[in-house]
């Protein structure tokens, strides 16, 4: 019998976040799967999610998925740790296509990288409150010690482009949040928020070269790339936001590390 080829699947991958952070997952999808069509939604009118209640995060996440599902999709990547921590199971129950979050793939990578079993995780207040990282890591390997730290000021600073080495504001805030993790001698630090890879240099400078940083958005993209049949066309990415597309267009390149191929469209997300 000859090999039966599976037909190409040109449906798009839906990706969403509260704002621009999820573009760090899109960046990795572009690297891994340049032929895939992607629909990105950033809820820029309601960012941040990480300071909100569980009920509000679930309501917003359902609306985000409902918007994306107007398009023909083969999978959804929740490029937001806050939503992944609070609503992944629910969204997976409510949708028949694969819904891929950040927590599991980020933990799996951390488990392969740590040498001393001391792992830090930083994220929004809601992600830390959910206990999702502790739950996953302790179930997967009870011998690991996890050191969680909420960093509520990071998202607004990143969304304002305050990410560069030498910026005294971000360096001061980073030092305050990261000091307990440095004292705990973690050798692996999960960036448990998709905005944080933009702070990679600032965080690495403070933590030192011996600490491995895990990019949770990129890990979600890595996992996603194994979950469906690939398309065979030229990948096109379309961007949508719930407020101020011009501001999104201006900052998106910083997250994507390339200029977005097209400007963002405006969506009234409250209608979904
Ligand atoms: N980028 C998001 C995350 O990964 C959400 C940040 C926020 O809206 O607070 O958690």
Name which of 153, 163, 158 is nearest 204 in CA terms.
163
User: Number of helices and strands (H, E) in the chain?
Assistant: 11, 10
User: At residue 1, does pLDDT exceed 80?
Assistant: no
Cα 46 to ligand 1 centroid, rounded to whole Å: 11
From the list 71, 91, 63, 69, the residue with the least C-alpha distance to 272 is 63
Query: Which segment of 119-128, 199-208, 211-220, 228-237 scores lowest on mean pLDDT?
Result: 228-237
For residue 204, the enclosing domain spans: 103-216
Told to judge if 193 belongs to the known catalytic residues of this protein, a careful annotator would answer yes
Q: Is residue 33 part of a domain?
A: yes
Q: In this structure, what CATH number is given to the domain that contains residue 140?
A: 3.40.50.1860
* Domain final position from 171, 197, 216: 216
Q: What is the mean pLDDT of residues 13-39?
A: 95
Q: Tell me how crowded residue 39 is: count the other CB atoms within 10 A of its CB.
A: 22
Asked if residue 150 belongs to a domain, the reply is: yes
Residue 34 lies in a domain: yes
CA dihedral 83, 87, 91, 94 (to 10 degrees): -150
> Do 178 and 128 share a structural domain?
yes
Domain assignment present for 124: yes
Whether the CA torsion 258, 19, 268, 71 is positive or negative: it is positive
**In a domain? residue 193:** yes
Closest-lying ligand 1 atom to the alpha carbon of residue 102: 4
Reported pTM: 0.94
Residue pLDDT, tens place only, 217-263: 999 999 999 998 898 878 999 999 999 999 999 999 989 999 898 99
**Is 85 in contact with 212 (CB distance < 8 Å)?**
no
Mean pLDDT of the region 70-94: 97
Total structural domains in the chain?
Answer: 2
Contact (CB, 8 A) for 43 and 26: no
Residue 144, pLDDT > 90, answer yes
Kindly state whether residue 7 falls inside one of the protein's structural domains. no
- Decide which of 173, 191, 216 is a domain's last residue: 216
Residues 69 and 196 in one domain: no
C-alpha of residue 232 to centroid of ligand 1, in Å: 32
């Amino acid at each position: 019998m000859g090999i039966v080829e599976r037909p190409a699947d040109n449906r798009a991958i839906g990706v969403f976040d509260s704002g621009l952070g999820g573009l760090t997952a899109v960046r990795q999808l572009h690297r891994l799967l340049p032929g895939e069509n992607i629909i990105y939604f950033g809820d820029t009118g309601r960012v941040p999610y990480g300071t909100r209640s569980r009920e509000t995060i679930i309501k917003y996440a359902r609306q985000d998925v409902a918007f994306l599902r107007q398009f023909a999709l083969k999978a959804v990547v929740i490029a937001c740790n806050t939503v992944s921590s609070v609503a992944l199971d629910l969204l997976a129950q409510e949708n028949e296509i694969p819904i891929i979050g950040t927590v599991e793939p980020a933990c799996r990578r951390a488990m392969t990288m740590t040498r001393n079993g001391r792992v830090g995780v930083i994220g929004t207040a809601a992600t830390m409150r959910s206990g999702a990282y502790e739950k996953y890591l302790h179930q997967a390997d009870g011998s690991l010690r996890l050191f969680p730290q909420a960093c509520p000021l990071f998202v607004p600073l990143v969304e304002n482009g305050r990410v560069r080495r030498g910026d005294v504001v971000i360096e001061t805030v980073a030092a305050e949040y990261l000091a307990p993790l440095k004292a705990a001698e973690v050798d692996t630090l999960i960036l448990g928020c998709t905005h944080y890879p933009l702070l990679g240099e600032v965080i690495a400078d403070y933590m030192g070269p011996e600490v491995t940083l895990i990019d949770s958005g990129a890990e979600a993209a890595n996992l996603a790339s194994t979950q469906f049949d690939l398309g065979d066309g030229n990948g096109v990415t379309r961007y949508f936001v719930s407020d101020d597309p011009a501001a999104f267009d201006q900052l998106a390149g910083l997250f994507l590390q390339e200029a977005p191929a097209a400007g963002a469209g405006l969506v009234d997300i409250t209608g979904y």
